[in-house]
Amino acid sequence: MANTGSSISAPLKRAAGAVQAAPRDGFATGLGVLTATLGSAVGLGNIWKFPFLTGANGGAAFLIVYLISTLLVGLPVMISELTMGRTARADAITTLQKLSPSRKPWWLIGAIGALSAFMILAFYTEVAGWVFAYIFKSLSAAALSTNPEVTSQAFSGLVTDPVQSLVWQWIVLGLVGFIIILGVSKGIENTTKRLMPVLFLLLVAVCVRSLTLPGAAKGLEFLLKPDFSKVTGLTMLTAMGLAFFKLSIGMGTMITYGSYFREDQNIPITATRVMLADLSVSLLAGMAIFPAVFAFGFEPSAGPSLLFITIPAVFASMPLGHFFMVIFFILAAIAATGAMLSLFEVPVAYMSERLGMSRRTATLLTMALLVLFGSAAALSNSVLADFKVLGMTMFDLYDFTTSNIFLPVGGIFICLFVGWVWGMDQVKKSLSNNGILKNEGIARLFLFLVRFVSPVLILLVLLQGLNIL
Ligand code: TRP
């Protein structure tokens, strides 16, 4: 794959690091860069959000808007962030401070990003908690029934129980915190290197099962045959928000990961690979889910509970369903873990590098803050079910404001920064690894997009979706 020389340079690099005083941690191998970045992109976004949003917004038409957003907006912003991070070699806030002209408040993008990290993690760790819980529930068959009413009751039993909700969230926080404390190369890189291939294999297995069911073709048709009458302003905003969420952009995750990239990493190519692999995982997840949903006559538009109510009923209806359901939730748990690692890394990098905390203290503090922030999401189906802001529970509010407002706004400013403030020569220099890569054409196309196309598109979709235009 990416770097054949990496196996030689990695041990050398680590050995060199050991003798220097406090070297900055980073991804040691080209493969590690790819699995960690892909690990960030692939997550509950693919396995939970993508299927339910596609199901609820009319299938293929939504998919097309999502694809356009990914290409014209997602990829340019991702390349921007990775390049900025690698140039500054610092956490998201410091990166913007380092690269921008003095006394300009561009660092605020990083600050809002850190806030977004907490808000996303607050609900993300909860959904991840359900996923982990479901691995065990599928083992015990408590949630496995062909009747969606029974599976629905099993799911409400979990989410309306405040103790179970909180405890599963804490288990997830503990696991992610443990890996983060191990460090960037020993924790994040090692974990994603081992788990990402497993995830792919498991997903393909479930997909083959689903596609070979009688009646599967209808599900494929739903995913591939567009009906544009379903596309509204809010649909477009939702699709674009999903593109941001999926690629982990708009809030500093990719800036932070970019700062751990190797000097010789080809950023435009890496970003494109990650985008394509992430898209493949989403499509595979769609092909694992919708054909089975249709084959057994369930509703595709079940919303957020699709994964926990419809899917178990679907599994219960098929031969070997019990086994496949365990596999399915294990793969979802793996996907969620890689993504949460990247979200955690944003505040942890800032606190440990800028505020002088040890990595351990920074991680423990992040975990403590999340116990606080996260409980509002965890309890939003039980004790806090009636506590609503702007008509949304805290869970929905965290999700809606980050995906549909903070990430797109962050994206606009990142484009403006790279396109208009940072300097064209500097951008070309960074994208070409100081002139070593001959990618002048790509750099020009990239600059055209981030200067004129992406920010305008994001703004239009944002205003349309929020009913302002
Ligand atoms: N991309 C991940 C997913 O699809 C979620 C995620 C990780 C994320 N880091 C992020 C979303 C940063 C927004 C911003 O599940």
Q: State whether the beta carbon of 246 lies less than 6 angstroms from ligand 1.
A: yes
Q: State whether the beta carbon of 265 lies less than 6 angstroms from ligand 1.
A: no
Instruction: Write the residue with the smallest CA distance to atom 7 of ligand 1.
Output: 339
What is the position in ligand 1's atom list of the atom closest to the CA of 116?
A: 14
| Residue whose CB lies within 8 A of the most ligand 1 atoms, among 116, 203, 248, 344, for a mutation test | 248
- pLDDT band per the 50, 70, 90 thresholds, residue 312: confident
What's the token pair of residue 40?
A: 């960030």
What is the position in ligand 1's atom list of the atom closest to the CA of 342?
A: 9
Instruction: Write the residue with the smallest CA distance to atom 14 of ligand 1.
Output: 248
Alpha-carbon distance of 144 to 147, in angstroms, equals 9
Q: State whether the beta carbon of 40 lies less than 6 angstroms from ligand 1.
A: yes
What's the token pair of residue 65?
A: 């808007």
pLDDT at residue 6 tops 60: no
| pTM given for the model | 0.91
Burial 27-56 (b: 16+ CB within 10 A, else e): bbbbbbbbbbbbbbbbbbbbbbbbbbbbbb
Cα angle: 147, vertex 298, 142; to 5 degrees:
30
Convert the pLDDT of each residue in 129-182 to its tens digit: 999 999 998 887 777 888 888 888 899 999 999 999 999 999 999 999 999 999
Q: State whether the beta carbon of 251 lies less than 6 angstroms from ligand 1.
A: yes
For the chain, give me the number of helices (H) and strands (E)? 23, 0
In this structure, the number of other CB atoms found within 10 A of the CB of residue 172 comes to 27
pLDDT at residue 17 tops 60: no
CATH of 29-465, one of 2.10.25.10, 1.10.4160.10, 3.90.1170.50, 3.30.70.20: 1.10.4160.10
What's the token pair of residue 191?
A: 């974990």
Q: State whether the beta carbon of 237 lies less than 6 angstroms from ligand 1.
A: no
Which of 11-25, 131-145, 441-455 has the highest average model confidence (pLDDT)?
A: 441-455
Domain boundaries, the chain: 29-465
- pLDDT band per the 50, 70, 90 thresholds, residue 22: low
CA of 341 to the centre of ligand 1 (A): 10
